[in-house]
Amino acid sequence: MNSWQQQWYLGSSYYHFNRPNEAISTEDNRLSPRLSIHGGFNFPVNEWNRVYLSGLYMQSAITTEKMLGTVLESLVRTDQYETKLFFGLYYRMSDAFIPYLGLSNERFQIGVSYDVNVSSMKVATRSRGGGEISLQLNLSQSEESKKIPACYNRF
């Protein structure tokens, strides 16, 4: 991929359109449909750095979630390795700030995030948020397929 190339992405999902019954007894407990829409844009700042802007909207029954965020990717090159570092911040509307740190190379990408609760729920959670670790492995043997596309969401 040309490092000076900008990229857009947009996607959506619709879950539980047939309203499956999740009850394990004779009760009827149907799952409500859920809509998810996500999109983003990334662009190079210079030959070593790239900025990712992204958003997410999800709606199900009585729950709606909206999230916006940005991540800075910095390329670190040595004689043997090419590594990318990611630093970002997301905001889940009226709920939490989510700092993000990540690291990747051709074979894997790992990320760590932590929800910092800013909603009225912080009383119930004693201002404790939730941590998350993500891991993406590329097990392909093909040199071309080894690269994780830059347009992949950093959430």
| pLDDT for 7 | 92
CA distance 72 to 96: 20
Q: Tell me the per-residue pLDDT of 140-153, one tens digit each, with 9 for 90 and over.
A: 777 665 555 555 54
Whether 106 contacts 96, CB under 8 Å: no
Q: Tell me the per-residue pLDDT of 67-82, one tens digit each, with 9 for 90 and over.
A: 999 999 999 987 777 8
Whose tokens are 């990334």? That residue is 42
pLDDT(31) > 70: yes
- Of 21-30, 61-70, 80-89, 90-99, least confident by mean pLDDT is 21-30
| Token duo for residue 17 | 């359109």
pLDDT, average across residues 117-134: 82
Q: Tell me the per-residue pLDDT of 35-60, one tens digit each, with 9 for 90 and over.
A: 999 999 999 999 899 999 999 999 99
